[in-house]
């Protein structure tokens, strides 16, 4: 699997699964009727952040957006968001993107990574983050209107990037040079 910076032309490969994931309504707070242009503007971030794609056999199967969680005096904590094509689930795409993201954030100098809104019923994501050293700082009760389950909690998850090595799975991920 190749993780590389996204280029503008990649959006047409990301948008179909981005839209599908938002329409399913179980993981993200994007508006259901979000347009491609609005989603692109939100997802395809610029410096100091970065958007990457995961390629598997030449096909884009996932994407991640990484950058500062806040501006100014809060910009030393990173955040990230992830989209994996539902047709490629179970192939380690999320984990490969997650590991790249943690490496990128640590290398770039962020002190920690924070997720502001992990849907509590998204067991796969929660397990992945826990396996990568994240803890649940808190759960905001009933903060997400899940399409199937109704009102469920949103986890705030956190991981320092200073004090512990990033546990690495046996992924076949290849990394592009950074810097």
User: Rounded to the nearest whole angstrom, what is the least distance from the CB of residue 49 to a second copy in the complex?
Assistant: 15
Torsion of CA 167, 172, 174, 175, to 10 degrees: -20
Q: Interface with a second copy includes 121 (CB under 8 A)?
A: no
Q: Interface with a second copy includes 138 (CB under 8 A)?
A: yes
Contact status, residue 79 vs residue 44, Cβ threshold 8 Å: no
Give the CA angle between residues 149, 151, 153 to the nearest 5°: 105
Instruction: Please count the residues of this chain forming the interface with a second copy, following the rule CB under 8 A.
Output: 37
Report the residue from 18, 28, 43, 104 that binds a second copy according to the rule CB under 8 A: 28
Nearer to a second copy, 24 or 176 (CB): 24
Find all residues with CB under 8 Å of 69, minimum gap 6, and list them: 75, 77, 78, 79, 114, 116
Q: Interface with a second copy includes 137 (CB under 8 A)?
A: yes
Q: Which residues bind a second copy (CB under 8 A)?
A: 22, 25, 28-32, 34, 69-77, 111-112, 114, 116-117, 137-147, 154, 156, 158, 160
């Amino acid at each position: 699997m190749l993780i590389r910076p996204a280029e503008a032309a990649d959006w047409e490969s990301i948008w179909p699964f981005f839209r599908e994931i938002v329409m399913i309504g179980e993981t993200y707070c994007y508006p259901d009727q979000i347009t491609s242009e609005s989603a692109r503007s939100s997802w395809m971030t610029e410096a100091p952040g970065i958007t990457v794609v995961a390629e598997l056999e030449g096909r884009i199967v996932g994407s991640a957006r990484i950058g500062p969680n806040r501006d100014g005096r809060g910009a030393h904590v990173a955040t990230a968001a992830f989209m994996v094509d539902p047709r490629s689930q179970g192939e380690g795409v999320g984990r490969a993107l997650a590991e790249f993201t943690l490496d990128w954030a640590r290398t770039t100098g962020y002190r920690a990574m924070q997720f502001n809104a992990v849907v509590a019923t998204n067991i796969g994501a929660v397990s992945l983050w826990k396996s990568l050293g994240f803890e649940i700082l808190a759960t905001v009760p009933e903060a997400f209107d899940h399409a199937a389950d109704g009102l469920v909690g949103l986890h705030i998850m956190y991981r320092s990037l200073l004090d512990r090595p990033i546990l690495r799975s046996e992924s076949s991920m290849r990394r592009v040079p950074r810097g």
